[in-house]
Structure 1
Amino acid sequence: MSALAASVAPGRYYDAALKTEAIKLLPADYAVSDEPLALVTLLGSCVAACVYDPLLGVGGMNHFMLPDTGGASRFADGSARYGAHAMELLINDLLKRGARRARLQAKAFGGGNVLRGMQDPIGSRNARFVVDYLAAERIPLLAQDLGDIHPRKIAFFPQTGRALVRRLPATRRHELVDIERAYRERLSRTPSAGSVELF
């Protein structure tokens, strides 16, 4: 039986570079699995938290755009685009599948300040949020690649907790900036949890 859950059905494909089945996560997605596959996402100012139970061999990844709802109702539209809700969805799904909170471990990636000219850049806020959240929940953060200005491609293997990070070249940065600006603009206009692929 497949142990996969996601807020929306992410794209499943064969990743030739990783030589494995993979699931692509977009903003506001999360997935949990105990299968021998990779969870893959592209990040600019967004953050992906990878949380897993190494004994049970189950783990998951989320991809959130904003740390919180900015004072709105608890999770506004219930979207996993907000860090607090994305983390709760991910951890609760792991616990439902038999993971033990005391065994959970985490790795966190992203939070690049790819949008220039912001006083308190969203990437920095996302990075601070995930570190603070994991500390408050007493989930050890074993590895991280947060902040700076680089977009990143992440591959996480939920059975083992192995994570691969590739910082993308600056030539991809302008494209990511445009996509993130468009995504942020759409979020401000509508409460729906859209999905934009970051390339």
Structure 2
Amino acid sequence: MSSLPIATNHYFDNHFNRRGVKLLPNEFYTTGDDMVLVTVLGSCVAACIHDRTAGIGGMNHFMLPDDGEPTQAASESMRYGAYAMEVLINELIKMGGRRERFEAKVFGGAAVLAGMTTINIGDRNAEFARRYLALEKIRIIAEDLQGVHPRKVAFMPATGQAMVKKLRLQQEPSVAEREQELAKQVAEARAARHARARAKEHAELFTSHATPGAAKPRAEFAGAATAAAPAKPRIELFGAVGGVRGGGNSNSPKTVEEA
């Protein structure tokens, strides 16, 4: 059984008169069946990719553009665009799709809450989707991104047809709750990153100002003489050094005394 977060909310869609799957955040679904994939987006982005020759397609739903930690579970990593896009593309290729035939339609990335404009999650998600697909050389043939309205997206993976409906926030209270929680998580993550950066900067500053304790000199005596002659300094040499007795041509370090 796959550990990937494949959407499991199957139902019969009366509006489209066919079987459907509802995608929640961090999920994806791929198929060649005559069915409809549906999701509701706020600042999140859904990429719908279709291979018209193979008659297959799929959708993902990611929340943030940045990469997750390598140790995270797949269900947690799917919230990040880099992982969600990679999974969707790879699963379509496994089904017989060809990257050079893929066409994409992308939706979402709205600033549905007033405070979200300062965090810019929606804008970042939208720009990430465009940039990622451009790097993968997958053509975007339609998009409905950014703005201030939540969206309901319906995608027919077998034909590539997609429909989008703009919503009022009051129509989807779950979107508002999700956006508030996401904004809180992003703010906490940003504060944690800043705290780590400050701690690292403080540690480096402390290290750069630290000085090792000076070694105490040891007196050297020649026999039982009351006034010892000053000890001749010892010098580490690499190879021959002019003016120093005993300076040979060896490449290994040696210790000699000054004349």
Q: Any idea what SS the aligned residue of 2:54 has? A: coil
The one-letter code sitting in structure 2 at the alignment partner of 1:68 is D
Single out whichever of 98-107 and 119-128 deviates more from structure 2. Answer: 119-128
Query: C-alpha offsets along residues 154-182 of structure 1, whole Å, 9 cap, x if unaligned?
Result: 00000110001000124336652222222
Query: How much does 1:144 deviate?
Result: 0.3
Please state which structure has a larger fraction of its residues in helix: 2
Alpha-carbon offset, residue 74 of structure 1: 4.7
> Which residue in the other structure is 2:83 paired with?
85
Give the drift of 1:73. 3.3
Return the offset for 1:185: 4.5
* 2:155/2:162 contact within 8 Å kept: yes
TM-score by length of 2: 0.66
Counterparts in 2 of 1:165 and 1:82: CA distance versus 1, 3 Å = same
Aligned-partner Cα distance in 2 for 1:38–1:136: 28
Task: Name 2:152's counterpart in structure 1.
Answer: 153
Task: Decide whether the 8 Å contact of 2:155 with 2:161 is kept in 1.
Answer: yes
Give 1 or 2: higher strand fraction.
1
Q: Max radius of gyration: which structure?
A: 2
Contact preservation (8 Å) 2:43, 2:121: yes
Ranges of 4+ aligned residues in structure 1 off by more than 6 Å: 186-189
Amino acid at match of 1:58: I
The root-mean-square deviation of aligned C-alpha atoms, in Å, is 2.5
User: Does 1:163 find its partner at 2:162?
Assistant: yes
The answer on whether the counterparts of 1:10 and 1:29 sit within 8 Å (CA) in structure 2 is no
Count matched residues.
185
Residues 42-97 of structure 1 deviation map (CA, whole Å, 9 limit, x = unaligned): 0000000001111000000000000013xx63574442110000000000000011
Structure 2: runs of 5 or more not aligned: 189-259
What is residue 56 of structure 2 aligned with on the other side?
58
Higher relative contact order, chain-length normalized (CA < 8 Å, sep 6+): 1
Q: CA deviation at 1:20?
A: 1.1
TM-score, normalising length: structure 1: 0.84
Query: How many percent of aligned residue pairs carry the same amino acid?
Result: 45
Query: In the alignment, is the contact (CA less than 8 A) between 1:6 and 1:32 conserved in 2?
Result: no
